[in-house]
């Protein structure tokens, strides 16, 4: 029955629309954040209880609750990861989760070590002699102090290892961010170059068009001047051929102190 339900759930996930997928991811993310807060509180309670007590029966209920919440958190994280389609976003999200997950792993290791130490202690008899009970109590107290000191050092080591792993994850994330920023800057430069090239082509086209206009204007001026010269020549020819046109008298110039007038008479 559970297998059939899983198949149905999987089919429903595959048929999610874009908005439906976005809404589902939002819900999963909110639920995961809530479970992280809940598990953090339970981890603190468990740590306080292990420092105060050496009785496994007193610590077991809190540890069982912690395990249940931890398992639920892992399930919801897997569901969120499976729904995330973008590989880059999936990788960044998993790195974010692992940074918090390492702290819970440290709490789990501390609890396992605590149970390993305290489960081996024999239960004290209530009916034993007072002196024996007193000696056993002192021995148990010393042993408990040693165990707690050892547990704290091991816990500190686990925390340092978790911080080291977290530092590596942060380094990876920063490198990815740096690569992305470089890509964005390269794209901006490429876009600016394309815009500059387009503007240059427009300016060159305008210059070429202006030069063509100037050349055309010069040709038109030459044509007009040529037309004027042709008209002047035609007028001169007409005056020579038409006897009714007055004779052409050239300009009178001074030459060697005397005036000389040249007249062309047309018969």
Local confidence pLDDT in tens for the 267 residues of the chain: 445 445 445 444 455 688 888 888 899 989 999 999 999 999 999 888 888 888 889 889 999 999 999 999 999 999 999 988 888 888 899 889 998 898 899 889 988 888 888 876 544 433 444 444 445 445 555 666 676 777 777 777 777 888 787 788 788 888 888 888 888 888 889 898 889 889 888 898 888 888 888 888 888 887 777 776 666 666 665 555 555 555 555 554 554 444 444 444 444
| Phi, psi for 23 (deg, rounded to 5) | -65, -40
CA-nearest of 108, 81, 107 to 95 is 81
Long-range contacts of 235-241 (CB under 8 A, 24+ apart): 240/266
| Phi, psi for 123 (deg, rounded to 5) | -70, 140
- Secondary structure (3-state) at 253: strand
Identify any residues that bridge with 259 across adjacent strands, giving them in sequence order: 254
* Residues whose CB falls within 8 Å of the CB of residue 105, separated by 6 or more in sequence, listed in order: 158, 162
Q: Where are the domains of the chain?
A: 2-119+141-182
| Distance in angstroms (rounded) separating the CA atoms of residues 122 and 130 | 17
Greatest alpha-carbon span in the chain: 174
pLDDT reported for residue 169: 79
User: 2-119+141-182: what CATH class?
Assistant: mainly alpha
Whole-model pTM? Answer: 0.41
Both tokens assigned to 143: 């042993």
């Amino acid at each position: 029955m559970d297998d059939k339900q899983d198949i149905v759930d999987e089919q429903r996930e595959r048929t999610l629309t874009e908005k439906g997928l976005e809404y589902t991811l939002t819900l999963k993310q909110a639920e995961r954040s809530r479970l992280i807060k809940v598990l953090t509180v339970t981890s603190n309670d468990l740590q306080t209880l292990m420092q105060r007590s050496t009785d496994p029966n007193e610590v077991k209920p809190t540890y069982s609750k912690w395990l249940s919440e931890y398992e639920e958190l892992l399930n919801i994280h897997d569901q969120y990861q499976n729904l995330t389609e973008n590989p880059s976003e999936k990788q960044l999200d998993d790195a974010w989760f692992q940074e918090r997950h390492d702290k819970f792993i440290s709490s789990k290791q501390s609890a396992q070590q605590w149970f390993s130490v305290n489960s081996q202690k024999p239960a004290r008899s209530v009916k034993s002699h007072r002196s024996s009970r007193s000696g056993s109590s002192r021995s148990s107290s010393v042993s408990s102090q040693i165990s707690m000191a050892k547990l704290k050092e091991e816990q500190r080591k686990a925390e340092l290892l978790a911080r080291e792993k977290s530092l590596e994850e942060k380094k990876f994330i920063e490198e990815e961010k740096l690569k992305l920023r470089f890509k964005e800057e390269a794209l901006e430069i490429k876009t600016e170059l394309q815009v500059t090239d387009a503007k240059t082509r427009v300016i060159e086209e305008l210059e070429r068009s202006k030069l063509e206009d100037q050349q055309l204007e010069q040709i038109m001026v030459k044509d007009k001047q040529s037309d004027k010269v042709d008209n002047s020549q035609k007028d001169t020819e007409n005056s020579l051929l038409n006897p009714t046109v007055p004779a052409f008298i050239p300009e009178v110039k001074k030459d060697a102190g005397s005036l000389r007038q040249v007249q062309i008479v047309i018969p």
